[in-house]
Chain A
Amino acid sequence: MNSTKHFTAFPMGKTKMLCAAGAALLAALAAFSLFTGKYPLTFEGMLRGDAMQLRVFWTLRAGRTAVGVLGGFALGVAGYVYQTVFRNPLASPDVIGVSSGASAGAAAGILFLSGAAAVTFSAFAGALAAVCLALALSALDRTGRDSTIVLAGIAVHSLAQTVLMCLKLTADPERELASIEYWIMGSLNGISGYSIGGNLLLCLFCLAALFLLRRQILLLSAEEGEARMLGVPVGRMRLLVLLAATLAVACVVSLSGLISFVGLLAPHGARLLLKRDSAGTMLLGGLLGGILLTGADILARSAAATELPVSIFTSLLGAPFLIYLIIRGRQRA
């Protein structure tokens, strides 16, 4: 019995060590991201007070890096919350239609409004509408099964896709359709340092709420009846937690467009690395998400002469990492 102990016991220091390593890597990538791009920035130049360099730094790089770091973090944490609460490894905020709602909103913004900020706002409104609709639909089912939320989400998702399709049909194919397609592909390009404050603040607020409720999130992973008999007001708590996670994601995707794979991969990565569930796993999932998105964004702006969609690289970096972790997990087991 003692021999098996070594394999199943949780080493307590591992979580802290990996989180520290993840945070360090994320900080390094963020610093690298600040100084990578078309316009060369130098430490000396900025210390000298070179006006052009400082402007590029504050309007372009700082905002873009902040969205990469915080956005990736939010996607990772939200993915962890969704997978835990739904007890389903494939769950992610996309399941309840937040991304498709944001896409439809952005398309409407591109067609009927003008300016990047208006498109962001419209995308956020679309995401919010989709989420509220999905949660309201699920509230109609009195039994409160968690599968109801997923089903409602799928319905809202396809509804939003239909709206998006209709909007695309009315779009002028030369300019508007291209912008819609480009927005949907997702990119951190064009995020300016001045217009993102509200989104980032709300995102931070939601993330803080999720970390405060970390014990309840783990309790929700028990079955409905069991969680209730452990004193969790299941319906309300699940709604609150999902709303916070989804709002955090809505803040990000309304700025960036669709970002594939981060919300799915980052939590799995954290779980496969730590082999346990705790607030530390949620934190590591967030850090991995930040690393993945920031790294992918650096590649997206430096791999080719033109900006590439960031999702290409999140998938390109993420898929092999996930495959590696799965193979490693199998061999250990």
Chain B
Amino acid sequence: MSFFTVSGLTAGYGGAPVVNGVSFEVEAGSLLGILGANGSGKTTLLKAVCGILPHEGSCALETENLEKAVLEELPPRRLARLCGYIPQRSGISIDISVLEAVLMGFNPRLKLLEYPSREMKEQAREALQAVGLGGREEENYQHLSEGQKQLCILARTLAAGGRLLLLDEPESALDFRYRYRVLELLKGWLRNGDRAGLAALHDPALALNYCDCLLLLAGGEVRSLLRPGSDSLGKMEAGLSELYGPVSLRRCQNRSGREQLVMLKEEEGRQL
């Protein structure tokens, strides 16, 4: 059995299901990227996995004592301790400091009337340092740019820990440099112990170079599952072309010799 298993997930918003019968597995320490065109069900899938949306099917996660926890059956605080969730946009609507926004992440570990400890504050500061927001702890969260808010929420989730991280387009508001930084951070976090990540991504270049496995979603169903590390370019091109129209892939090296996959757009209507 894998670290995290999703089987037969069907979810929607009352009408026809937006995500239909999705099943997949994620190994410990790996990052699964979810790719799909707008409206293909990426967000719905993530929301169903963390139980925000009512759904059919089940999600099972390996816990500390190697048992399987069915996420649907967990009480909210236990679920929140196991899974971190980064929405596309955080709904924090009040004027709190950046540090306080990060400290919100410790809530599942605190008793109802308890307050974050000194160590938690220290961890929160370290997490802010790691995402590049060091020294801005006392600033108003609302005055940050959208990208900085995403970094702050990432810091919140990384500091809070958990075993499964669900990220909904964490890169959407970030500049070129920070997109790579965030994915590096995520990979670093995943290397430390029994953890797994699920990220809906918009940027195929990022997904191809950082994810261990790619779930291609179209019309709420899994079209194909790609492994950028081992699959042939041809197979990946075929899969990605289904989502984005004709594309081709190249392997390139940067100056330090590190290989990267690059996706190029091909002319519409042209035979590949």
CB distance from B153 to the nearest CB of A (A): 9
Residue of A nearest to B142 (CB): A8
Tell me whether A16 is interfacial, beta carbon within 8 Å.
Answer: no
Tell me whether B250 is interfacial, beta carbon within 8 Å.
Answer: no
Tell me whether A84 is interfacial, beta carbon within 8 Å.
Answer: yes
Residues of A within 8 A of B95 (CB): 271, 275-277
Q: A218-B94, A230-B108, A231-B107 are in contact. Are A5 and B139 (CB under 8 A)?
A: yes
Tell me whether A328 is interfacial, beta carbon within 8 Å.
Answer: no
Q: Quick check: B52 and A224 within 8 Å, CB to CB?
A: yes
Q: Residue A87 contacts which of B77, B91, B113, B136 (CB distance < 8 angstroms)? A: B91
Residues of A within 8 A of B104 (CB): 218-219, 222, 230
Residues of A within 8 A of B92 (CB): 221-222, 226
CB distance from A138 to the nearest CB of B (A): 18
A212–B114 CA distance with the chains assembled, in angstroms: 9
Q: Quick check: B93 and A231 within 8 Å, CB to CB?
A: no
Q: A84-B94, A277-B96 are in contact. Are A8 and B139 (CB under 8 A)?
A: yes
Residues of B within 8 A of A212 (CB): 113
Tell me whether B105 is interfacial, beta carbon within 8 Å.
Answer: yes
A109–B50 CA distance with the chains assembled, in angstroms: 50
Tell me whether B90 is interfacial, beta carbon within 8 Å.
Answer: yes
Q: Residue A226 contacts which of B81, B90, B140 (CB distance < 8 angstroms)? A: B90
Q: Which residues B108-134 have CB closer than 8 A to chain A?
A: 108, 110, 112-113, 115
Residues of B within 8 A of A218 (CB): 94, 96, 104
Tell me whether B80 is interfacial, beta carbon within 8 Å.
Answer: yes
Q: Quick check: B115 and A215 within 8 Å, CB to CB?
A: yes
Residues of A within 8 A of B84 (CB): 229
Jot down 16 A-B pairs with beta carbons below 8 A, ordered by A: A5-B136, A8-B139, A212-B113, A215-B115, A221-B91, A221-B92, A222-B91, A223-B90, A223-B91, A225-B47, A229-B84, A230-B105, A231-B76, A231-B79, A231-B81, A232-B107
Q: Residue A228 contacts which of B52, B94, B110 (CB distance < 8 angstroms)? A: B52
A interface with B by C-beta (< 8 Å): 5, 8-10, 12, 84, 87, 212-213, 215-216, 218-219, 221-233, 271, 275-278
Q: Quick check: A278 and B96 within 8 Å, CB to CB?
A: yes
CB distance from A135 to the nearest CB of B (A): 20
Q: Among B50, B85, B90, B104, which residue has the most Cβ atoms of chain A within 10 A?
A: B104
Residues of A within 8 A of B113 (CB): 212-213, 215
A276–B81 CA distance with the chains assembled, in angstroms: 28
Q: Which residues B50-101 have CB closer than 8 A to chain A?
A: 50-52, 76-77, 79-81, 83-85, 87, 90-97, 100
CB distance from A142 to the nearest CB of B (A): 8
Q: Residue A229 contacts which of B83, B94, B96, B112 (CB distance < 8 angstroms)? A: B83
Tell me whether B138 is interfacial, beta carbon within 8 Å.
Answer: yes
Residues of B within 8 A of A276 (CB): 95-97, 140
Annotate B167-181 by CB proximity to A: 1 below 8 A, 0 otherwise: 000000000000000
Q: Quick check: B52 and A229 within 8 Å, CB to CB?
A: yes
B interface with A by C-beta (< 8 Å): 47, 50-52, 76-77, 79-81, 83-85, 87, 90-97, 100, 104-105, 107-108, 110, 112-113, 115, 136, 138-140, 143
Q: Quick check: B90 and A222 within 8 Å, CB to CB?
A: yes
CB distance from B90 to the nearest CB of A (A): 6
Q: Quick check: A230 and B107 within 8 Å, CB to CB?
A: yes
CB distance from A316 to the nearest CB of B (A): 29
Residue of B nearest to A217 (CB): B94
Residues of B within 8 A of A232 (CB): 76, 107
Residues of B within 8 A of A9 (CB): 138-140
Q: Residue A8 contacts which of B50, B83, B112, B143 (CB distance < 8 angstroms)? A: B143
CB distance from A146 to the nearest CB of B (A): 11
Residues of B within 8 A of A216 (CB): 112
Q: Quick check: B85 and A226 within 8 Å, CB to CB?
A: yes
Residues of A within 8 A of B136 (CB): 5
A8-B139, A222-B104, A231-B76 given; 4 more Cβ-contact pairs under 8 Å: A9-B139, A10-B138, A218-B94, A221-B92
Residues of A within 8 A of B81 (CB): 231
Residues of B within 8 A of A12 (CB): 138
A219–B76 CA distance with the chains assembled, in angstroms: 14
Residue of B nearest to A11 (CB): B138
Residues of B within 8 A of A223 (CB): 87, 90-91
Residues of A within 8 A of B110 (CB): 215
CB distance from A184 to the nearest CB of B (A): 33
Q: Quick check: A229 and B91 within 8 Å, CB to CB?
A: no
A85–B92 CA distance with the chains assembled, in angstroms: 11
A84–B104 CA distance with the chains assembled, in angstroms: 15
CB distance from B52 to the nearest CB of A (A): 4
Residue of A nearest to B156 (CB): A230
A278–B112 CA distance with the chains assembled, in angstroms: 17
CB distance from A140 to the nearest CB of B (A): 16
Q: Residue B80 contacts which of A8, A224, A231 (CB distance < 8 angstroms)? A: A231
Q: Quick check: B76 and A221 within 8 Å, CB to CB?
A: no
